[in-house]
Structure 1
Amino acid sequence: MTDMNILAIGFAIAVVITIFKTARIVPQRSNYVIERLGKYSRTLDSGFHILIPFIDKVAYIHTLKEEVIDVTRQTCVTKDNIQVGIDGILYIQVVDPHKASYGINDYRYAASQLAQTTMRSVIGQTDLDKTFEERAKINEEVVKALDEAAYPWGVKVLRYEISDIELPASIKDALEQQMRAERERRAAIAKSEGERQSMINVSEGQKQEVINLSEADKQRQINEAEGRAREIELIAAATAQGIREIADAIQQPGGQNAVNLRVAEQYVKEFGNLAKTNNTMIVPAELANIGGAVAGLTEILKSTKG
């Protein structure tokens, strides 16, 4: 191989290296931090860029996408002195590549460690029962504390989620017993409420039955009274009509004789009935003067009419 060939190959390699050092394509949602002679120069956004070979260099590469960090399980002590193991997931995003490059050495590790210490502090102010009931509130407090601390790093803490809470075996047993007792209590309450409602329904039914029977009896008595009143009214009207017709008939020719005959017949009939119902024989003082008695009754009728 001649010297010319070696020189050409060397020149070609130098050109390739120069192009590689000069031209840079930044992907979407990424930023490149450029240093010139060891000092921060600028931040490149997505697209094609030209650098000065051997003077400019890409010092840091940051993604602007949301990042998920698994926070290692840690042991925390609650306000009521119960040790629990907590796993968490942290969601962060780089908003300032310059601060993320020069504000801290490793923002991911720092955010994870800060999440652990903040969680221990928040759990230490919370009772065990509330760690389950107020997860959302605990997460908000952790995010608030992390976001304030991570601001100088150019990092935005979006949210924190407690993925798991591990309890000691003794506490699990106690909680299970408590839950079982609570379920039994609720079942007993539900049963008693059902029995109480059943008794109320039965008593209401009996009450309504008594009311219905009394209303029916009241209506029956009213109907019977109205019927008797109507009966008396009709009998009285019929009796009055009959009396008027008898009075009119007496005024007709021969009517007086018919009345005398009728009275005499009734007198003899009733006297016979009286004799049948008594052991003692009753004989009128004036047995032969029956006609006089009839005439006397007739006079009474006349005087009554007058």
Structure 2
Amino acid sequence: MNADQIIAMTEGGGIVWLLLAAFVVLCVFLGVRIVPQSEKFVVERFGRLRAVLGPGINFIIPFLDRVRHKISILERQLPNASQDAITSDNVLVQVETSVFYRILEPEKTVYRIRDVDAAIATTVAGIVRAEIGKMELDEVQSNRAQLISEIKASVEDAVDDWGIEVTRAEILDVNLDQATRDAMLQQLNAERARRAQVTEAEGKRRAVELQADAELYAAQKAAEARRVQADAEAYATGVVAEAIKNNGLEAAQYQVALKQVEALVKVGEGAGKQTVLLPAAVLDAFGDAFTMLKGGR
């Protein structure tokens, strides 16, 4: 073997090594997959599902396994959609909705549904119509939170086979046609007028109640005054009775004489005071009173 042959063999061996090294590098490049935190990779082998790769470093068999789908697991928002619906009291409303979701099982999403956004949008539209059809217009306006909760639960059940989680569903607006708006405005004005009348009636009733309370209070005070006066008169009578009891007949005669004297004084002060006619017993009354007065002293 001459030098030329040795050189040729050496060059041939170097090429082989170079090819072998290149093959190893290619296998490593094809066999190692680094998956980002926000994604999952769907791996196929000969057209069949082989595995789902999670975030981090993953290994596959080069030339046999292929990463067919790279699925983002971030939360997504469907474009705002508007659909018509009819309430149970036959009112046409236009509902604007928005749905947020994220993919939990990429293998189901990839192999069971083609256009996931369109499928979810269609599902939401049907569920919104069905749920609003069970409610009256007033309930749709006042129970929006309950309606959103029911729509979200129904959508979750419908998309469960697609490996999707519905994170949030929102009803952005409920629009009415012009005729319905005019009717609601008339109803609102009538309700305001009714409330004003009720308020005025309640005010009048309250005024009557206050007047009645005032009259009752005045009557109670008058009754208390009469009761006090009666108690005073009863007390005076008791004092006289006690005096009669203690002093006998003389005290009673003294009181009667005083009353007669007072009556004569009033007569003398009248318009006919120039001439006074006195009964015969008056002098005796004066005498008795004077005698009793001296005896009392």
Q: CA deviation at 1:116?
A: 0.8
Taking the aligned partners of 1:271 and 1:150, their CA distance within structure 2 comes to: 127
Q: 2:71 aligns with which of 40, 44, 62?
A: 62
Q: 2:132 aligns with which of 114, 123, 128?
A: 123
Deviations 1:166-204 (A, max 9, x none): 111221121122122212212321232232123212212
2:291 match:
none
- Secondary structure at the aligned position of 1:70 is classed as coil
2:49 match:
40
2:178 match:
169
Is 1:209 aligned with 2:218?
A: yes
Question: Matched residue pairs, number?
Answer: 242
Q: CA deviation at 1:221?
A: 0.9
Q: 1:221 aligns with which of 214, 223, 230?
A: 230
Is 1:73 aligned with 2:82?
A: yes
Deviations 1:207-230 (A, max 9, x none): 122012112211211122112221
Q: 1:218 to 1:100 in 2, by over 3 A?
A: same
Taking the aligned partners of 1:129 and 1:36, their CA distance within structure 2 comes to: 57
Q: 1:143 to 1:272 in 2, by over 3 A?
A: closer
5+ unaligned residues in a row in structure 2: which ranges? Answer: 1-17, 252-278, 285-297
- Secondary structure at the aligned position of 2:135 is classed as coil
Taking the aligned partners of 2:31 and 2:281, their CA distance within structure 1 comes to: 158
- Secondary structure at the aligned position of 1:57 is classed as strand
Q: CA deviation at 1:115?
A: 0.4
Q: 4+ residue runs of structure 1 moved beyond 4 angstroms?
A: 9-20, 239-242, 270-275
**AA paired with 1:91?**
F
> Which runs of structure 2 are paired with 1:101-120 in the superposition (5 Å)?
101-120=110-129
Q: Report the TM-score, using the length of structure 2 for normalisation.
A: 0.69
**AA paired with 1:182?**
E
- Secondary structure at the aligned position of 1:157 is classed as strand
Q: CA deviation at 1:41?
A: 0.7
| Residues 76 and 123, structure 1, Cα contact 8 Å, conserved in 2 | yes
What is the RMSD computed on CA atoms of the aligned residues? 3.4
2:58 match:
49
Percent of pairs identical after alignment?
29
Q: 1:91 to 1:271 in 2, by over 3 A?
A: closer
Q: 1:231 to 1:66 in 2, by over 3 A?
A: farther
Q: 1:141 aligns with which of 150, 168, 189?
A: 150
Q: CA deviation at 1:18?
A: 5.8
| Residues 68 and 90, structure 1, Cα contact 8 Å, conserved in 2 | yes
Taking the aligned partners of 1:213 and 1:76, their CA distance within structure 2 comes to: 71
Q: CA deviation at 1:19?
A: 5.5
Taking the aligned partners of 2:283 and 2:146, their CA distance within structure 1 comes to: 111
- Secondary structure at the aligned position of 2:78 is classed as strand
Taking the aligned partners of 2:216 and 2:108, their CA distance within structure 1 comes to: 82
Taking the aligned partners of 1:20 and 1:69, their CA distance within structure 2 comes to: 36
Deviations 1:212-256 (A, max 9, x none): 2112211211122112221332254245799xxxxxxxxxxxxxx
Taking the aligned partners of 1:216 and 1:63, their CA distance within structure 2 comes to: 93
Q: 1:16 to 1:84 in 2, by over 3 A?
A: farther
1:187 match:
196
Taking the aligned partners of 2:25 and 2:190, their CA distance within structure 1 comes to: 77
2:240 match:
231
5+ unaligned residues in a row in structure 1: which ranges? Answer: 1-8, 243-269, 276-306
Larger Rg: 1
Deviations 1:114-150 (A, max 9, x none): 1012212322343322221332333333233322221
Taking the aligned partners of 1:272 and 1:153, their CA distance within structure 2 comes to: 130
**AA paired with 2:236?**
G
